[in-house]
Structure 1
Amino acid sequence: MRQQLCSLWRGGVLGLLQLSLPLCLLYPSLSALPGHTDARAPSLEVYEVVKRTFSRPFLSVGYHQIAEIPAGAQNLSIQETIKSRNYLALRTQSGVSVINGNWAIDRPGVFVAMGTQLTYRRPNEIRSRSGESITAPGPLTEDLHLFLIYQQPSPSVYYEYSIPTQIVHPSPEPETTPYIQSLVETVEPDRPGEVPGDGGLNSNEIPRYGPHPNQGPPEPRPANSWGPTGHTTCSTTCGTGRRQVLWGCVDTESQIPVSDDLCEPAPRPPDQGEDCVTQPCPVHWDLGEWSECTRRCGPGTQQRQVICRRVTHVHGNGTETVVTVASEMCGTADVPITKSTCQLKICSHWQIRTDWSPCSVPCGVGQRSREVVCVGDQGDVEEDGECNMAMKPGTLENCDMGPCARSWFTSLWSQRCSAECGEGHRTRAAVCLIDHVTRLPLESCEGNRPPEVTSCDSGPCHGRLEWYTGPWGQCSAECGNGTQTRSVVCLLNTNGTMDIVDQMKCSRLLPPTLSQPCHLRMCGVQWYVTDWSACSRSCDGGYRVREVRCLADNIVPSDGCDPGVTPESREECNAEPCVAETDPSCQDQYHNCAVVVQARLCVYPYYRTACCASCTRASKTYSDPYLKNHLYRTSPWTHHSPNE
C-alpha cells in the first residue's frame, strides 16, 4: 500500500509530489498512518544470521546428521561447496523423511513441508561443477534435521539461515497535521478481493483515487485509460499455474480496446501475473535414483524411493511445487519396484601359482614356501587387499626332514711334548659335525667330547733347592691352539755353587707356572680322521675303517688338502691265524646256534651255555669295543700311527 501511494502520488497527482516523499519516509506502512485501525507504530524484528560449514576427511558410508535447524528459521540456504557423489537429506524432528530418505534419492524439485517450500536442486552431473543445494524462504514450523548421505571422502557442506532474536517497538509517531490527515483520507480503503502484498489493488482493476479536499472540484475523467485487455496462456495444463495480465488502452465507459496512442502520454502499467487454475494434475509415481550397490563385487542390492505425488503449482521459472499424497491414490497394481539386485564386478579370488618348494634343510626342521596371488575376474594379478585376507592360503610352513646324524671329529695328536724333560702334554682339536656339513655347538653331538690334551714324558729333569724356571719351551702344536711349558728346578746355592736338590725340598715355596696356551699360526686346511672301527675279524685277517675329511680353520669342508698325504681310511687287522677251540665242554647243543649269534642273544647266560662254541667264536671276532666316530686332526708332516 505504501509503495502504491507513493507511486500514485508521483504519477497521477503531480501537484502533491513535494508532499509524497516525506509521507513515504515518515510512514513506512499504511497501518502506521493516522486514522488507521491500529494507530501504533509497527513492531520491528531483529534477526541473527547463522552460518556454518561441515567438513570431514572420512566417514562411514551412510546417513550422518550434520545440523539441526530450529523452528522459526527463515532464508534457509544449504549448498555443497564441492561437487561429489554424496547427497543431502532432510528429516523432520519426528523422523519423517522429506528429501532423500530411506536410501532412496529423489528427483530435484519443490517439496512442501514444515510450513514452507523447499527447493531441491542437483546440477547436471557432467557439465556442472556445483554441488547439490536446498533453499527455503521459511519460516519453519518445526525443527529440521539436515543429513549427509556419505559415499565419497572429504565432504563439505555450507548452510546458513536467519532466526529472529527480539522484537523492537518504536516510539509512537507525533500526530500529523490536518493537511496530511486529509491527504491520507483520499486513499480508498481496502476492498474484498484485493491481493495482499500488491498494494491493495485487485489484479483486474485500475487504481482510482479522489481529489484532495483543498484542490477544488475534481478534473474531468479522461475518455480513454489503460485497462486489462486479456491474459497469456496458463503456464500449465493442470494444477495451479501462472499467466500474465495484458494491459491496453480502453474506452473508459465501455471498456472497449482502442488505439494505445489515445492513452498517451500516461505510462502503460506493467503487466501483472496471476494464478490460473485448470483441472487438477493426475497423481504419479515419483521414482528416486538407485542407491549405491551394497557390495563392491559379487551380488548385492540397491534401493530407491518410490513416492506417490501430485503437482499443485507450476512456477514461471520452470520449477514445480509437488505434494506427497497417499500411495493408494496411485494404485497398488503397478507399483514400481524399490529394491533390485546389482553386481559391479566379479570378486577377486586367491590362486596358488606354484607347488611347495624343497625344504630349506636336508635334515632337521626347516621351512618351505609357495606363491599365492590375488587374481581379478579378468585374470590379472591385483593387490592382496582386493581379496579376502582371512581366506588366503598359507605361503610358508615348517618341514621336518628327520633327525640329523652328528659325529665327533678330532685331529691327530701333536708329536711334540710340551716339556723338554719330565711330564708334559700333547694336544689335538675336536669338532662336532653333522652329515650335511653344518657346524653345530659342541654339545649337540652324541656322547662325550673326546679329550683334547694327553700327558707325555720327555725324561727326568734335575732340580735345585730354590725354584728356578727355564725359558718357555716350543709350542706343542705347529698350528692352531697348543700348549708350551718350561722347566722348573730346585737349586741349592752354596757360596755361588748351584747344586740341584730334590724338588720336595722346595715344596714350601710357591711353585711357578709350568704351562701356558700358545698359538703360532692358523693351520689352514688339513686332514681330519675319526677313530678306527672294530676289526671285522678276530683272526685270519680282517679290516677296519675310519672317516677322513679335509677341513679348513673354520671347520668347513675344503678341497685344499694335499691328496698325496691323504690318511688311509681302511687297513687290515688281526692277521694271526685262528686257533681251534680245544675245550671239550664248550659245545653247541643246538643246530641253529648261528641264529642265536645273529640275534645277539649270547649276552644271556642260557644261550651262552646252549651255544657255547658259537658265542665264544663271536666274542673273539668282536672282542674290541665299539669305537665312536671321533674325528682327529692329522698333520701333513707327521706320521700317523694306526694304534694311536
Structure 2
Amino acid sequence: MRPSLPYRVDQAGRFVSYELGELSMDSRRRRSTMGQNNLDSASLFYHVSSGGRRYQLNLTRNAAFFAPDLLVEYWGANGPERRRRRRGTSAGTCHYTGHVSGKASTSQVAPEQLRWFDLPWSRAQVSGGVGEHTVTERTGGRTRRSVSRERTVETLVVADKLTVAFHGRGSVEDYLLTIMNIVARLFHDSSLGNLVHVVVTRLILLTEEQPELRLSHHADKSLESFCRWQHQAATHHRNEELRSSGLPRHDNAVLVTRHDICSYKNKPCGTLGLAPVGGMCEPERSCSINEDLGLASAFTIAHEMGHNFGMNHDGMGNKCGGEGEEPARIMAAQLTAAASPFSWSSCSRQYISRFLDSGRGDCLNDSPQTLNLVMPTELPGLRRSPDVQCRLQHGPTSRQCKFRDVCRQLWCVSRSKLCVTNSIPAAEGTACASDNGDVGWCFRGRCLPLGNRPVPVDGLWGSWGAWSKCTRTCGGGVSSSERKCDNPKPTHGGTYCLGVRGRYRSCNTEDCPAGTQDFRDKQCASFNSQPFRGKLYSWTAYTAVQGKMCSLVCLADGYNFYTERAEVVVDGTRCHDDPDSFNICVNGECKHVGCDRQLGSTLTEDKCRVCGGDGTTCETIHGEFSKSIPWGDYHKVVHIPRGAVNIEVEETVPSKNYLALRTKNGFVLNGDWTVQWPHSLTLAGTRFLYKRPVGEVEKLSARGPIDQPITVTVLLQERNKGIRYSFNVPLKEDHQASFAWFLEPWTPCSASCGKGERKRVATCRRLLHLTVALSEQCQAEKRPPNKRQVCSAQPCPAVWRPREWSKCSRSCGGGNRSRTVVCIRAPSGATAVILDNSLCHGPPPPSKEACNAQDCPPQWVALAWSRCDSMCGPGLMHRPVLCKSADLTQTLDPSKCLTTSRPTVQRHCTRKRCPHSRWLVGHWGECSAQCGLGQQVRRVWCAASDQQPSMLCPAVLRPRNAQACQGACETSPRSLSEECRDINKVAYCPLVLKFRFCSRAYFRQICCKSCQGQ
C-alpha cells in the first residue's frame, strides 16, 4: 500500500497548496517566490490520508535537535575564520514534531501517534515539485537527555574542502551531525558490551586547503598528516589559548573526505577508511580518516573508531567472520551484503572490553561539563529518501535504481550512469516494501511494517558466577568471578548494564619453592615450539621495555632481538622484576597489591619493613662521612649490621670517587681497583641498586633486611666531598625505656545541653618525638587511670523525637508505614520526659510515609503436592515450583527468581504401616587384645518378617555392634631370681600407670615394678 500525497492546509484545515515548500538549510532565511508556502513558519499544517482515513498534521519546529554548546568553525587558508556555538535553533532546521487533529474509527496506527518526518529540503529539488512522503508511527516518548558519565568519546569532526564544497555550507553541518548521530547509535548498541557515548563537541569545516594538512588519495600519508594536524588543532598553537578561548577538548578526531583514498597508493581504490589500532586516548593516534559515502559513512566511521578502541577485523586472528563461525559485523574487513553492519561481534566486544579494562581508555571517563546532548529518537532515513541518500553518495544527478532489499543494499545510479552499490544498507527509517507488499521502513537491515519499532529493553546484571581456578599454584595468582548483562539482556537499542562486570581476588600467595622457574620465563618458554618468522627460538622474559609492564615481551636466547609474543601476560604475573614489589597484572593492567599480598589492599610497610606496622620496632641510623683523608685508597664509610632495612648511601655532590661494598669475604662491588657499570646485585639476602648517572651523585640503595653485616667503603680519587648514609635497625628488647604514658587533654563535653561528661585518656607516646605509639610499647602496670568529670551546659530544649517506623505494609509494589512522634526534653544521660506537643517548635516529622515503592520481583509459586511415592512406611512427596511474574500472569525462567527463597520441591511422608521388621545380631568376634582390655564386634542388621533386608527398624532400638573385652594375660609365676624392675628410666612408666596400660603385656613387662599390685 502506497501512502497518499499530502497537501498543505491552514490551521482551520482549509486547502492552501499542493506545494509543500522548500526548506533552506542555510542559517539565513531565503527569499522565495512561494510567498506563504515557504517553511519559515514555526508551525505548519498538512492533510494526509492513511489507511482509508484522513488526518490533519499540526507540526512545530523542533529546536532541540543538537547539542546546545557544539562549536562550529569554518577554516580558511589561514586558520579559523568564523566560530559560533550551535544551539539547535537554526532557521534551516528541518526537524519538525507534532500531533494529529481528530480521530478516525479504524487505523492500523493510532492517529495521535502519527508523526510527519520527511520534508523536501535539498536545493537540487525543483521548487513546487511534489515528492513522496512518509507517514509513520511515533515509537517512543519524548527525546531523552543523556548526561552519562560512563564512557564519553568527545569527538572532533573535520570535513575537508572537497566535502564542504560537495554538500554546500548550508547543508554540510546537518549532514555531518546526522552521520555522527548514526555513529552514536551504533556505539549505543548493546552488542558492544559497554556503554559508550559518542558526542560531537567540535565541528571544523575546511573551505580552503590547510598549510600543515596534506590530503590526497594516499590513505596512509593522509592519516599521518591528519593525526598530526588534529593534535595541533586541539590546542591551536598554545595550550594557554585553548584554556582561555574556551575551545572544547576532544578525545578522538574524525576526518570526512571526498578523496577516493587507497592504502599505500596515491590513486583511487576500494579503501574506505584508515585508523591506528589501539590509538584511543593517545593524542596523536586517536584519529581516523573516512571516505564520504553519504549517510553510510557512519558505518565506516564506527568501524575506524572501533580500530581506535583496539578492535581487529572480524576473522583476523579471532573466531568471528569465518566459515561456521559468528558472522562478521561492523568490524568486517570488507563491506558485503553478508555482513551485518548494525551490531558488533563478540570478538569486537572482547577487544573493546580488554582495551577499557586495561586503563588505556581512561580519558573517556569524564564527560563534557557544559554539554547536555539531546539524543534524537527519529531514524535518519525518515528525513532523507533513498534518492537523497544516493545524491549524497554520487552527486546531484544520482537516484535509486534498484528497489528490492533496499534495507540490505542501496543501489544508486553512478556518475557513469551505471547502477552500483557500496554494499551498504539504506539508512534506518527509509521507506521499503514489506513482504506482504505494504509500505514499511528499514530497521537494522530489515524491512519492518511501517511504524513497527521494537521497544528497547535495558539490560540488568545477572548473578555472579563461581570463582575461577587460581591462575598460579604459588607466588600470588588471581581468581576471578564474572557476571553477565542478561537479566534481562539488553535488546532493541536498550542500554548495557553499568557497574562492575568482573571481580578479582588474590590466591596462592605463598612464595614458590626455591628453584621454581620464573613465571614470565615460563610463559615465554611456551612459545619455544612455535616458529617465529620460520624459525624456532628459545625465549626468555625481557622486562626493560617501557610501558609494556603487562605485555609478554620475550628475548630470543642467543640473539640480539626481542619481540612481543602476547599482548597481555597471564593474570597474576608480577608487573616488574623488582622483588620488593607485589603488584601484579590483571587483564593487562598493573594492579596494586598490598604488603599482605592481597589484591587491592592498602596495607603498606613501615620504615622497619613491617607490614601494617607503625614504625616503632626499629630506629634510624644516619650520618655523613666527611673526614679529610688521603686520596688513592679505600676508606671505611660505615658498618651496617645484620637485619638493617631501607639502606640509602649517596654522595653529597658529584665527584670522581667511587662507592664500594665489602663483606667478611671481601669486596663485592667496585673492589680491587675495578669500577663496575651501574647495575643491580643480589647481596646479603636482598637486592642492591647501584646508580651512577652522568653528572649526578652516585647512589647505593637496598630494601633489606640484610642477613649478614656489610661495610660501605669509598675509593678516593680526589678529596672526600662527603657521603650521606641512613638505614633502620631493629630496636633491642629494652626499648620500652623510650616510651611513656601521658594523660591527654580533657575531651569536649559529651552533651551540648543538660548534663554531660568529659574525660582524659592515657596514651602511650614516644619520648623522643611525643608521637602516639601502640599501647603495647608502654608498661601496662604504669598506666595511669583514665579520668572522668561531669560537665554542665545549657538546659536542653523541647524537641520532636520520632519512634521507630513500623514494618511496611507491603514488601514491594507500594506500601505504607507509620511511627509515633512525641515532644520530649532529653537531658544527656537522663531519662527523656514526654511533654505536651505545644512546647515543641516547628512542624513535627512525618508520622506516615510511603515505602517499598519498587516493583515486586518475580516470585516462586508452589503448586499442589503429589501423592506419597511409597507403598508403605516413609516416602517422599513432590510438587512443581514455578517462577512467576509479580502479577502471576507469566511463567519465567527459574534464573529470574531468587534461588535462596525457592520453596522445597519434596518432603517426607508416611503411608500405612509396613510389615513388622526387627533388628538381628550375629555372634561376637574375638577380642582384639591378647592380654588386657580390648574390643570385640558383631554384625547388626534390620530384616523384615520374610527375612529380607529392611530400613524400617527403629534406630533407637538398634543393638550395639561393639563392646569391651578382657584378654587373658599370662599368669605363670615370675622366677625369684628375675628382678621385677622398670626397664625404662626416663619417667616413662608413671605414664603407663596413669593411663592404665598395665593390663597390656608389653607395658607390664617393661614397667614391672610400677605395675605391681595393679
Output the TM-score relative to the length of structure 2. Answer: 0.13
Larger strand fraction of residues: 1
Output the TM-score relative to the length of structure 1. Answer: 0.20
Bigger Rg, structure 1 or 2? 1
